[in-house]
């Protein structure tokens, strides 16, 4: 009964979405408050039914009900409980259900907490949400139904892909989906604004928390996914420019641009049309990302041939939503009122520059991701676009962006003073030069670009600190006044500092990891010792051990430094009988922000085992950076104050730097 009730709940949610997508629009057209309010109750009811449906699927997985095809194909009765639950979204059907659950959750949140929205705007937003939801319910029910049954259930399931049997699956996809789906709210607001033909600074105020929330989750989701790939795949790499990774990076770049342009709109009532376009593009890229991961649209064109119904449905959804919203934009954007004016050198101008760089970066990633597929379709040859392409295109754009980052917050609204900003960044510049000189001396003869990149990173971090120091008048005023001003500084300003500094921190990690790596790859026998980066690693022995649904071979390494034992590391190799697959469980030893990394290869006939050992200096900074960025986002989100961008008067003497 659980399976069927879950199935029926999903069907009912579709029915409610159909009503929610039409009735409120009629209400807004004829200005009937009751009809507009239907959107609210149906959105909440939709959330209720989708949640029921999702809980039903989780229950089925937990109780190992193999009469459900989805459970049979992706579960195993011996799997640990946590993987039985995470296995729900470790497959196409279940992950689509998670996607709509999150969509319904966001719809429900807008309905429940959208009291400050004008009635007709809320009706429009929820109706657009319901269009998206309705399309996805149909997609799930028609082509990817997780509730299909087997009349004579088999006694054991086929197990989940062993690579996915990891705690990463519990965190990474839900985070990423919260990010992807969160951008559906700004999309709905954008389409609603186009439908209503009205947009102003208040709009940006209402969209801000949703965009920020989505951005935080997406940032954490991408960082988490990268760390997961780093420790699970056993190669020690953390970013592969894989289409699936690019698919999550593109909405992040567009979303970051959106975050900044929405800021201009809220504070200065400018860049309105551009913000609407960015909202549409960001969600379009999120949709593309969802389907890239779930259907392999790009990685293989042939995925369409294996399941044509699914492929055609996906294409249809992409065409209708991306094409439809862009056409609506082309048709209605000219009717929107233009916003305020500003000088090229001003905070607004800096943010336009930021948007320019981010969208160009996003476009290079999109090109690198889509080009191989287009090429394959046209010439039936396979090519792959890898890291060199992205380093040559994405790299320079991002370097330029990073150079500009510290300047932005130091410029005044409306008309800025570049020279003044440069002077105030002098400290950051000097710190960067010192860093370059130090790194150059230390790694003399190493990579040429590494010291420069480190210098750039230091410049970004110090620039972020300079900005806050400038605002609170540190070193210019008595300390007590500085502290009082620091307390009075809006949390959003602190958020900006953390987010911008996070960028620099991540860059330091990236540069150190790519240029300062030491590695040892070879075969070891019990008793062998390998010296690496000042550590001595001794392979103590190999022991087999049975796990719940796998058997594993564990290798014990004793790590010594200067003769003293530091720790032991136990990498292992697991083999899963049901799928006939094996996975590598790398062992990581964290020392400060650096890590030792051991992963096992195959055992050779004479009792030796292939091992890869890496020492990765400061590698953890790669992920601490994004965490810091997300923390900055969180600070900004918690700041419920209104944002006012006080313009710099045309001919005022230089006064205190205007803040948020």
- Number of residues that make up the chain: 660
Q: Is 581 in the site for another protein (CB under 8 A)?
A: no
The stretch near another protein (CB under 8 A) out of 62-70, 252-260, 511-519, 562-570 is 62-70
Contact 76, 158 (CB under 8 A): yes
Residue with Cβ nearer another protein (153 or 395): 153
CB of 633 to another protein, least distance (A): 21
Residue with Cβ nearer another protein (487 or 562): 487
The stretch near another protein (CB under 8 A) out of 283-291, 439-447, 448-456, 635-643 is 635-643
Q: Is 35 in the site for another protein (CB under 8 A)?
A: yes
Count of residues in contact with another protein, rule CB under 8 A: 94
- HSE value, Cβ hemisphere, 13 Å, CA-based, for 335: 11
Residue with Cβ nearer another protein (96 or 431): 96
For residue 21, how many other CB atoms are within 10 A of its CB? 21
Interactions with another protein, residue window 201-230 (CB under 8 A): 201-202, 205
The stretch near another protein (CB under 8 A) out of 45-53, 162-170, 508-516, 619-627 is 45-53
Among 50, 57, 58, 64, binds another protein (CB under 8 A): 64
Q: Is 155 in the site for another protein (CB under 8 A)?
A: yes
CB of 51 to another protein, least distance (A): 13
Interactions with another protein, residue window 82-141 (CB under 8 A): 115-122, 141
Residue with Cβ nearer another protein (529 or 577): 577
Tokens 């992807």 sit on residue? 180
> Long-range contacts made by residues 550-556, C-beta under 8 angstroms, separation at least 24?
550/162, 550/574, 550/575, 550/576, 550/577, 551/575, 551/577, 552/585, 553/600, 553/603, 555/598, 555/600, 555/609, 555/611
Residue with Cβ nearer another protein (113 or 331): 113
> Coil, strand or helix: which one is 153?
coil
> Coil, strand or helix: which one is 461?
helix
Q: Is 38 in the site for another protein (CB under 8 A)?
A: yes
Residue with Cβ nearer another protein (6 or 234): 6
Per the structure block, which two tokens stand in for 196?
A: 């209503």
Among 55, 67, 345, 536, binds another protein (CB under 8 A): 67
CB of 484 to another protein, least distance (A): 8
DSSP notation for 309-371 = HHHHHHHHHHIIIIIHHHHHHHHHGGGSPP-----SSSHHHHHHHHHHHHHHHHHHHHHHHHH
CB of 146 to another protein, least distance (A): 11
Q: Is 343 in the site for another protein (CB under 8 A)?
A: no
Among 66, 99, 180, 238, binds another protein (CB under 8 A): 66
> Coil, strand or helix: which one is 280?
helix
Per the structure block, which two tokens stand in for 3?
A: 């399976």
β-sheet bridge partners, residue 539: 557
Contact 250, 362 (CB under 8 A): yes
Q: Is 12 in the site for another protein (CB under 8 A)?
A: yes
Distance (Å, whole) CA 375 – CA 108 = 42
Residue with Cβ nearer another protein (534 or 546): 546
CB of 354 to another protein, least distance (A): 22
Among 147, 227, 390, 398, binds another protein (CB under 8 A): 147
Residue with Cβ nearer another protein (18 or 345): 18
Give how far Cα 491 sits from Cα of 223, 496, 660, Å. Answer: 24, 9, 10
Interactions with another protein, residue window 470-489 (CB under 8 A): 471, 485, 488-489
> Coil, strand or helix: which one is 264?
helix
Q: Is 77 in the site for another protein (CB under 8 A)?
A: yes
Per the structure block, which two tokens stand in for 259?
A: 């975050």
Residue with Cβ nearer another protein (114 or 368): 114
Q: Is 162 in the site for another protein (CB under 8 A)?
A: no
Q: Is 338 in the site for another protein (CB under 8 A)?
A: no
Contact 624, 539 (CB under 8 A): no
Binding mask 250-289 for another protein (x = CB under 8 A): -------------------x--------------------
Residue with Cβ nearer another protein (442 or 641): 641
> Coil, strand or helix: which one is 452?
helix
Q: Is 441 in the site for another protein (CB under 8 A)?
A: no
Q: Which residues contact 136 (CB under 8 A, 6 or more apart)?
A: 96, 99, 100, 103, 317
Residue in 582, 591, 600, 606 with CA at minimum distance from that of residue 539: 600
Q: Is 378 in the site for another protein (CB under 8 A)?
A: no
Contact 475, 451 (CB under 8 A): no
Among 170, 198, 540, 553, binds another protein (CB under 8 A): 198
Residue in 610, 584, 607 with CA at minimum distance from that of residue 530: 610
Residue with Cβ nearer another protein (70 or 364): 70
Q: Is 8 in the site for another protein (CB under 8 A)?
A: yes
Q: Is 392 in the site for another protein (CB under 8 A)?
A: no
Interactions with another protein, residue window 502-561 (CB under 8 A): 546, 549, 551
């Amino acid at each position: 009964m659980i399976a069927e009730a879950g199935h029926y709940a999903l069907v009912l949610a579709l029915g409610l979405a159909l009503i929610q997508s039409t009735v409120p629009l009629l209400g807004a057209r004829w200005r009937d408050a009751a009809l507009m309010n239907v959107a609210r109750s149906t959105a909440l009811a939709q959330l209720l039914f989708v949640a029921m449906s999702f809980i039903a699927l989780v229950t089925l997985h937990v109780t190992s009900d193999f009469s459900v095809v989805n459970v049979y194909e992706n579960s195993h009765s011996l799997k640990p409980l946590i993987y039985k639950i995470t296995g729900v979204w470790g497959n196409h059907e279940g992950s689509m259900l998670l996607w709509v659950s999150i969509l319904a959750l966001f719809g429900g949140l807008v309905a429940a907490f959208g009291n400050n929205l004008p009635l007709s705007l809320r009706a429009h937003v929820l109706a657009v949400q319901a269009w998206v939801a309705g399309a996805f319910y149909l997609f799930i029910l028609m082509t990817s139904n997780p509730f299909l049954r087997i009349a004579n259930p088999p006694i054991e399931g086929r197990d989940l892909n062993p690579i996915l049997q990891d705690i990463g699956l519990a965190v990474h996809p839900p985070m990423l989906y919260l990010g992807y789906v969160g951008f559906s709210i700004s999309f709905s607001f954008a389409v609603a604004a186009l439908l209503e033909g009205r947009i102003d600074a208040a709009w940006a105020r209402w969209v801000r928390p949703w965009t920020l929330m989505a951005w935080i989750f997406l940032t954490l989701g991408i960082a988490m996914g990268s760390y997961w790939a780093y420790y699970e795949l056993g190669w020690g790499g953390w970013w592969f420019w894989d289409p699936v990774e690019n698919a999550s990076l593109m909405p992040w770049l567009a979303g970051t641009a959106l975050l900044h342009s929405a800021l201009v709109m809220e504070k200065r009532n400018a860049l309105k049309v551009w913000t609407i376009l960015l909202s549409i593009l960001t969600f379009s890229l999120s949709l593309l990302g969802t389907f890239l991961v779930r259907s392999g649209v790009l990685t293989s064109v042939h995925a369409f041939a294996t399941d044509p119904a699914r492929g055609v449905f996906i294409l249809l959804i992409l065409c209708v939503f991306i094409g439809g919203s862009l056409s609506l934009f082309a048709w209605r954007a000219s009717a929107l009122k233009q916003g305020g004016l500003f000088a090229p050198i001003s905070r607004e101008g800096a943010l336009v520059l930021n948007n320019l760089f981010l969208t160009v970066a996003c476009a290079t990633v999109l090109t690198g991701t889509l080009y191989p597929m287009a090429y394959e379709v046209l010439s039936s040859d396979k090519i792959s676009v890898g890291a060199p392409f992205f380093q040559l295109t994405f790299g320079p754009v991002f370097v330029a962006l990073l150079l500009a980052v510290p300047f932005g917050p130091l410029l005044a609204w409306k008309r800025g003073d570049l020279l003044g900003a440069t002077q105030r960044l002098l400290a950051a510049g000097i710190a960067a030069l010192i860093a370059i000189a130090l790194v150059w001396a230390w790694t003399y003869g190493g990579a040429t670009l590494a010291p420069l990149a480190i210098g750039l990173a230091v410049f970004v971090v110090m620039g972020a600190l300079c900005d806050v120091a400038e605002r609170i008048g540190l070193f210019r005023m008595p300390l007590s006044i500085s502290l009082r001003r620091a307390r009075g500084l809006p949390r959003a300003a602190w958020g900006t500092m953390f987010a911008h500094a996070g960028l620099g921190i991540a860059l330091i990690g990236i540069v150190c990891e790519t240029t300062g790596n030491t590695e040892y790859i070879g075969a070891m026998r019990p008793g062998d010792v390998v010296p690496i980066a000042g550590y001595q690693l001794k392979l103590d022995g190999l022991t087999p051990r049975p796990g719940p649904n796998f058997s594993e071979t564990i290798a014990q390494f004793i790590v010594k430094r200067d003769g003293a034992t530091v720790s032991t590391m136990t990498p292992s190799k697991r083999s899963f009988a049901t799928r006939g697959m094996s996975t590598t469980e790398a062992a990581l030893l964290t020392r400060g922000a650096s890590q030792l990394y051991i992963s096992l290869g195959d055992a050779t006939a004479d009792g030796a085992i292939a091992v890869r050992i890496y020492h990765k200096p400061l590698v953890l900074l790669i992920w601490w950076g994004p965490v810091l960025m997300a923390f900055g986002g969180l600070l900004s989100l918690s700041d419920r104050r209104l944002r006012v961008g006080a313009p710099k008067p045309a001919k005022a003497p230089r006064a205190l730097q205007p803040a948020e």
